[in-house]
Chains A and B, each alone.
Chain A
């Protein structure tokens, strides 16, 4: 059967020329597959390679290895290791969203606009995009006074909510999300979890990184545990 994503023998080595050609083997021989609508929970200790694996899928990191075939709605099955930059840009625009651990935005863009932008690029009309963004921020419990303020001065949890909101509001086909609930209180955590489950029901596939047992249990269909850049044996067997 054709998988949504099939990763075969993927590795990532950082070669740091400015540190006397130091090698950092971040990922070794990673193989797994996932199906449409599935949520994979990526776990492991700090430094085990979770974010690296996610960034290899998004192509922020250049991976090596056999293949990483993604069943794109635009291109059909496509190897993300070999895809051209323009193919990747198109997939990022139309299908795949990456939500980093921390908010990293253009300064001086108000919160609501950051969120609305991910709808605007998908062609949603301006009024509609802003209305839905406000609605979503309200649902996440972000005080209305902050909607038109600049997130650079927000608290960690407030920034986190903006970050999560902008990545899930547009309901991407494939979501890569790094620690979405880390600095959220229980109530907001549940809202985020519910929003991700809603997406899943409409067909979104998710790779989720989390240290939080509660989030993992609620969301993940399957856990993929990394130890020292490799998939933990027991997990590999069930995958």
Chain B
């Protein structure tokens, strides 16, 4: 039988772990789905996520689902260098051909990775946008960080990005605080893709938006995936978002992956009790 071309991954994650509190305790052994908690009973350390393993392939959209507090945001934030991992290894094909554990590179290289090769859309727009700058200013900031200093080119790029994400260009010089939630998410998306990164993270992009706005944001993301072929990790507790956007899905509980698989398989033939419960609420 033939083997998968296992060297073809874009991102390879092994043993990714984040513990708040005493990391030398046995907190990993005493937390997780078996215990129904991510808090170590001995030390009160919080195991936000532990022993996360997965590969992401070029052009792939990977979903992350799970209940509140299961570690979804932590997972993507660690990959985007918001906060430092307690342990684990991450390899990224677009950086030094995937030979280097990017969790252990210099801060300068981490900035390079963030600014040139990755994008993030945060659960809360206030984490992703600088509310003191205009919408255009926020995008300009991201372009500047990737060493684009030409004012004309920056303005052109910002306005084309806003057009692409259907933010009225005449609002370019307005502050995000004056935007609706859906528009703020669109500006975040513009910013995330500004430097044409091969990989972006989307954390609950549609949460809190009203249904018709949600639908349009989902359409936008699907379009980006189809037209630009960007790889994405999509975090959502909403299974219909996962169904619409992703090829494969990982299910998180108490900081661990309890199950992963093809998205249609996860939704129609879930194996783990927790996933069965999650899915039964959808049907």
Measuring CB to CB, which residues of chain A are less than 8 angstroms from any residue of chain B?
14-18, 55, 59-62, 75-79, 82-89, 106-108, 120
Contact = CB atoms under 8 A, between A and B. Distances in A.
Contact of A86 (B1, B4, B264, B265): B4
A88 B261 CA distance: 11
A16 B273 CA distance: 8
A87 B265 CA distance: 15
Given A86-B57, A108-B215, A14 B269 contact: yes
Of the candidates A18, A59, A82, the one having the most CB atoms from chain B within 10 angstroms of its own CB is A18
A15 B275 CA distance: 12
Given A16-B276, A60-B268, A61-B268, A89 B247 contact: yes
A231 to B, nearest CB: 21
B151 interface: no
Given A61-B269, A62-B269, A106-B222, A85 B277 contact: no
15 contacts: A18-B276, A18-B277, A55-B269, A59-B262, A60-B268, A61-B268, A62-B261, A62-B269, A78-B2, A79-B1, A85-B248, A85-B261, A89-B248, A106-B244, A120-B226
B271 interface: yes
A59 B263 CA distance: 11
Nearest to B262: A85
A75 B3 CA distance: 8
Contact of A60 (B4, B262, B271): B262
A79 B2 CA distance: 9
Contacts of B262: 59-60, 85, 88-89
B84 interface: no
A22 B1 CA distance: 35
B219 interface: yes
A18 B268 contact: no
Contacts of B219: 106, 108
A106 B248 CA distance: 17
Interface residues of B, number: 26
Contact of B265 (A18, A60, A75, A84): A60
Contacts of B4: 83-84, 86-87
A89 B277 CA distance: 26
Nearest to A21: B273
B178 interface: no
B280 interface: yes
Contacts of B276: 16-18
B273 A62 contact: no
Nearest to A109: B219
B211 to A, nearest CB: 10
Contacts of A78: 1-2
A17 B273 contact: yes
A59 B268 CA distance: 10
B114 to A, nearest CB: 27
B222 A60 contact: no
A168 B268 CA distance: 24
Given A60-B262, A61-B269, A89-B262, 16 more contacts: A15-B271, A18-B277, A18-B280, A60-B265, A60-B269, A61-B268, A75-B2, A76-B2, A78-B1, A82-B1, A85-B261, A85-B262, A86-B4, A88-B262, A106-B218, A108-B219
A169 B251 CA distance: 35
Interface string B150-167: 000000000000000000
Closest 8 interchain pairs by CB? A17-B273, A84-B4, A61-B269, A75-B2, A60-B264, A18-B276, A87-B4, A60-B268
